Structure 1
Amino acid sequence: MMAGPQIVAAVVLVTTARPVRVCLGFLLGVAIATVAGVVLARGIFALLGQAFAPGSSSDRGVAAVIVQLVLVGLLALVAVKNVVKRRTVEPPKWLGSLMEASPRKALMTGLLIILLMPSDIAVMLAVGANLEQHGAGWTAALPFVAATVFIAALPLLLYLVFGDRARRAMPRLREWLTTHSWVVNAAACLIFIVLILAP
């Protein structure tokens, strides 16, 4: 969920004039967006009912298999896209505008960066499908939400622990993440593919 521009945005926000307030706004946006995305995805699969819910292999119908294969296909496409475009990855232009971000702009960035990224949408659909498959409520996804927010908070935590040394290291970290985020993205997609296909 946080690979690519998502974690780079968190790193950029640590280098702003008021990093703690701005980063807390970003983390709140990430948390709200992740919860909303999972609840929405869970709701979609609940509305579609058992005909579309990817349940156990013995009781699922053709429609459920199709939904499962579509989710796997979306995640596989995202993984392949990341591998194919790894050499031509350019950071989005809006990342540069985050250097002057206010807490409100950081909050909106956190919301939009999760809700509008195709890879994050595919992951949240996979989580929603998994919740429906196991008959679990959205609260069962709280560890997933917590892990997403924790990863988003890592740059801020490093800043709070190491202070200016961490802040000086953030530009180098941003460069590394920009050039290597495809590995993390592809690996995350593969993990969710395994979760969907597991009985």
Structure 2
Amino acid sequence: MLAVLADLLTIGVAVAISPLAIVAVILMATSGKGRTNGTAFVLGCYVFAVAFVGVLVLIGRASGADDPDSGPHLFIDVVEIVLGLILLALAVVQWRKRSSTETPKWMSSLDDLSLAKAFLVGVLISGPLSPKDLPLLVAAGGRISQAALPTGEIVAVILIFGLLGVFAVAIPWVLSVLSPSQVEKKLAGPRTWLVANHAVIMTVLFVILGVKLMGSGIADLATAGGV
């Protein structure tokens, strides 16, 4: 199990480093809603990641992806290579946006969210509306599907991966809970920096992850082919 988690570490960290999601939690925290809406938002991010990856793992293992010589196993390797190419293409798109420092308009409505809507925004921003996280979660699901582990350990890997994917988003939430009176002073600087450098951060992540996924997929195909 530890080997599988180590293999997922880079993907998990990349999922965790989501500047706009972090800024969203910071805005909730500095508006005084870090303990309520911030909690719902973080839970939304976690629940979606765990549920989405869990479904992919169920499908993959049911089709025999944990057999190194199976067709589904090889298909997942090809998918990883394709996802890597997509991330490299997204890196080019983000690099072209690097001069933009404008805060997304949807963030201005965060103060008015109910708990249910905050949870839903967390779900959406952690996958369905994220050009970064969705392919990474697909790749993680494929990797876990291929692991020759008992069901209990597979479940543990998915839950731990979900925690890894939200740890950066959860930091401002923790600060809002532990030190609500100091949260504005502590998070105002990081909020401004993340918005200003969002495109550059995403470009670097896309390049690193794109190369990693392509390399992993190619290495697995080469191993399966006896190269």
TM-score (norm 2): 0.72
In the alignment, structure 1 segments of 5+ residues that lack a partner are 54-59
Paired residue for 2:103?
91
Deviation string, structure 1 residues 132-157 (Cα, Å, up to 9, x no partner): 23345353233321122221111122
Match of 1:109 among 114, 121, 126: 121
Paired residue for 2:29?
14
Deviates more, 1:152-161 or 1:112-121: 152-161
2:33 maps to a residue whose letter is R
Match of 2:81 among 69, 77, 100: 69
Distance 1:48 1:193 in 2: 27
Deviation string, structure 1 residues 133-189 (Cα, Å, up to 9, x no partner): 334535323332112222111112223344322223433322211112234333443
The root-mean-square deviation of aligned C-alpha atoms, in Å, is 2.5
Paired residue for 2:50?
35
1:16 maps to a residue whose letter is S
Q: Could you tell me whether the CA contact under 8 Å between 2:57 and 2:141 is conserved in 1?
A: yes
Paired residue for 1:51?
71
1:149 paired to 2:166: yes
| Superposed structure 1 runs of 4+ greater than 6 Å apart | none
TM-score (norm 1): 0.81
Distance 2:86 2:63 in 1: 19
Paired residue for 2:215?
197
Deviation string, structure 1 residues 14-66 (Cα, Å, up to 9, x no partner): 0233321111111111111111221233345446653142xxxxxx4xx4553
Distance 2:157 2:172 in 1: 26
Paired residue for 2:8?
none
Deviates more, 1:69-78 or 1:24-33: 69-78
* Aligned-pair CA distance for 1:196: 5.7
Distance 1:124 1:20 in 2: 27
SS at match of 1:118: coil
Deviates more, 1:158-167 or 1:148-157: 158-167
Distance 1:11 1:125 in 2: 27
Deviation string, structure 1 residues 75-109 (Cα, Å, up to 9, x no partner): 22233322232212533211110022222221111
2:84 maps to a residue whose letter is V
Q: Could you tell me whether the CA contact under 8 Å between 2:83 and 2:213 is conserved in 1?
A: no
Seen in structure 2, the aligned counterparts of structure 1 residues 140 and 35 have a Cα distance that, compared at 3 Å, is same
Q: Could you tell me whether the CA contact under 8 Å between 1:83 and 1:183 is conserved in 2?
A: yes
SS at match of 2:169: helix
Q: Could you tell me whether the CA contact under 8 Å between 1:13 and 1:23 is conserved in 2?
A: yes
Deviates more, 1:152-161 or 1:7-16: 152-161
